[in-house]
Amino acid sequence: MKYKLFSVLSVFTLLVFSSCSKFLEEQSQSEIIPKTAADFRELLMGSGYIGNEDPTDFVSFMDDDVDFNIEWGIGTPYSIVGTPGAKTDYLYYTWQPTLADRNGLGDLISTDPANTAYYTFYELIKGCNAVLDNINAAIGSRQEKDRVRAEALAVRAFYYFRLVNLYGEPYNSNPQSLAVPLKLTSDISAEYMQQATVAKVYEQIVNDLKEASTLMDPLPIARRDFHINQPAIHILLSRVYLYMEKWEECVTEANKVFEQAGVLMNMTGITSGNWLTYTNPEVEWMFGGRSQAGDQNSYIPSAEFRSIFDQDNDVRFKYGISNSNGTPLINKYTNVNGELVQCLRTGEALLNRAEANVQLGKLPAAMKDLNDLRRTRIIGYTDESIGNKDALLAAVRLERRKEFFLEGFRWFDLRRYGMPAITHRYQHELGEAILHYTLKEKDPMYTLPFPTSLLERNPALKQNPSATMPDRIGQ
C-alpha cells in the first residue's frame, strides 16, 4: 500500500498541470497513473489528507489554558527558565507581532513560505482540488466516485475553517473583513490570489460540507479507516454553524450525528489518557499529530485551568494531566511519535448541540446533553439542574474547555466568545523579575499576522493589523 501510494503521489504534478482528458491518457508502463476511483481515493489520502503533523499547534501557546513552567527546577541545573526550549515559543506565548517570522531565540523562522501553516493548508487544498477536478472522469461506479468527491470536499472545508479562524476576524465580530483567498480548482494562474471575506469563506465551507453530506449520506458508513465519514462531516457542519451562530442548523446537524449511530463512550472505567484513538467508539475520524505534545516541560496547564476540574473523579484530568514532582504535565497524548492523535468525535456534537439549545432557550434539552456527557466522564457524577440561561451557557462552555484541552479548540472558541483579555506570566532569565504579558480584550492579535514570506510571494495579500503592533512589553 505504501509503495503504491508514493507512486501515485509521484504523478501529482500531472493532475495539476494537465487537463482531465490529457491526464487520463496512457503514459509509460512504468508509471502508475490514477484512473480508477480507488486510485483517486488513494491519491487523496496521500495529497489531500493531513498527515501526522499539526500546522496549528502553536495556538495552544496563546490561549488561557497554558502557563510558563517557572517553578520547575528552581535552584537546580534543570530549571526551565532561560532554556532554548522555553524561549523558542515565547513570541506566541506573549502574542508578539513578529511571531509569524521569528522564534523566541531571535532567529528568522524561514524565508520559505513552505514552512508556514498557511502554505501547508493550501498544499493540502491543492491535493483536494486536483482530485475534485478529475474524479468525475475516473473509472468506477457513481457511488465510488461520490465517496471520493465527498471526502475531498469535506477535508477542503476543514482546512478553510482553520485558515479563516487563523487569519480572518471572528465571523460573529466582522464577517465582511478580509480573510484568506479561496482556491477552488487545481488550475495554475498567473494572477495573484485575492482574499475573500470571512463571510465568503464560511459560505464556501458550508457549501462544501453540505454537498459532501448529500453525496455521502446515502452510502454505507465506513469507520476507522482514517477517511472522513458521514458522522464526521455532520460534526464539522454543527461546529461551523455554531461559530456562525446559526443555532437551529447546528442542532439539526448534531442530531444527524446521533441518527447515524453516534455513541458516547463511558470513560469512567479507563485507566490511561490514551482515549483519542479508534478504540474509542466516539471517534469518527482520526487525522493529525501533535508535534508540541512532547514539549511538555516549558509550558504547562495553568493553575486556573486545572481548578475547573473535579481532579479526583474526572477521568479527563486524572489521566490527561500527570504530576511530575509537583509539576502538572500533559499526558493526554500517549502516542505522539508519528501517530495520528487528533479526531472528530461525537462528544463534540453533543456539546455543540447543548450550546445551541441554550441559545435557543431550550434549557432542559441542553441540560440533558450536559448531564449525559458528564456522566460518562466523571466517576460518581450526579445529574444537576441549571435553570438560568447564562449560568447554563457558562457550564456548557466550561465543559467544552475540559473536553477539548490541547486539541486546538480553545483559541478559536475564545475568538467567538468576544475575544477576552488573557494574561501570561514569563521569566526571561533566572534571577530576573517575573513579568506579565497581556492580550487585551478584542486585541488585534486574535487575528494572526501573515508571515512576511507569504506577502513577498503574493503581494495581493493584505497584512492584518496585528503585524503592525508595537512589541508587547511585560509588566
> How far, in Å, are 112, 292, 304 from residue 107 at the CA level?
14, 19, 32
Q: Which of 138, 201, 140, 217 is closest to 169 using CA atoms? A: 201
* Mean per-residue pLDDT of the chain: 90
Element (H, E) at 328: strand 327-330
Neighbour-count burial of 190, counting CB atoms closer than 10 A to its CB (0-12 exposed, 13-18 middle, 19+ buried):
exposed
What 8-state DSSP symbol labels residue 427? -
Residue 274 has a CB neighbour count (10 Å cut-off) of 18
Distance CA 228, CA 122 (A): 19
Q: What is the pLDDT of residue 332?
A: 85
Fold that domain 2-52+118-210 belongs to in CATH: 1.25.40
Distance CA 84, CA 66 (A): 18
The alpha carbon of 95 is separated from its chain's Cα centroid by a whole number of angstroms, namely: 19
Q: What is the pLDDT of residue 336?
A: 56
Q: What is the DSSP string of 458-473?
A: -TTPPPPGGGGSPPPP
Q: What is the pLDDT of residue 259?
A: 97
The alpha carbon of 199 is separated from its chain's Cα centroid by a whole number of angstroms, namely: 19
What does the chain come to in residues?
Answer: 475
Q: Determine the average pLDDT of the residues in 270-286.
A: 91
Q: What is the pLDDT of residue 296?
A: 58
Q: Determine the average pLDDT of the residues in 279-292.
A: 86
- The H-assigned helical ranges of 300-433 are 303-306, 315-318, 346-359, 363-375, 389-403, 410-416
- Kindly state the cell numbers that stand for 182: 479561496
- Kindly state the cell numbers that stand for 389: 440561561
Q: What sign does the CA torsion over 74, 78, 82, 85 have?
A: negative
Q: What is the pLDDT of residue 107?
A: 80
Q: How confident is the model at residue 198 (pLDDT cuts 50, 70, 90)?
A: very high
- Give the per-residue SS3 of 29-77: CCCCCCCEHHHHHHHHHHHCCCCCCCCCHHHHHCCCCEEECCCCCCCCC
| Residue-wise pLDDT tens digits, 67-126 | 999 988 777 777 899 999 899 999 999 999 999 998 888 888 767 888 899 999 999 999
Comparing 106 with 138, the larger pLDDT belongs to: 138
Q: Which of 308, 337, 268, 318 is closest to 395 using CA atoms? A: 308
Distance CA 193, CA 459 (A): 9
Distance CA 92, CA 144 (A): 44
- CATH number 3.40.50.1100 given to 220-408: no
Within this chain, domains 2-52+118-210 and 220-408 share the same CATH topology: yes
Distance CA 314, CA 301 (A): 16
Q: Determine the average pLDDT of the residues in 141-166.
A: 98
Element (H, E) at 127: helix 117-134
- Kindly state the cell numbers that stand for 73: 527546577
Q: Determine the average pLDDT of the residues in 27-42.
A: 75
| Residue-wise pLDDT tens digits, 314-366 | 999 999 998 887 788 888 876 556 678 899 999 999 999 999 999 999 999 99
Comparing 164 with 107, the larger pLDDT belongs to: 164
Least confident of 48-52, 174-178, 196-200, 326-330: 326-330
Distance CA 287, CA 61 (A): 21
Distance CA 285, CA 197 (A): 29
Q: What is the pLDDT of residue 5?
A: 39
> Domain segments of the chain: what residues?
2-52+118-210, 220-408
- How many helices (H) and strands (E) the chain has is answered by 18, 10
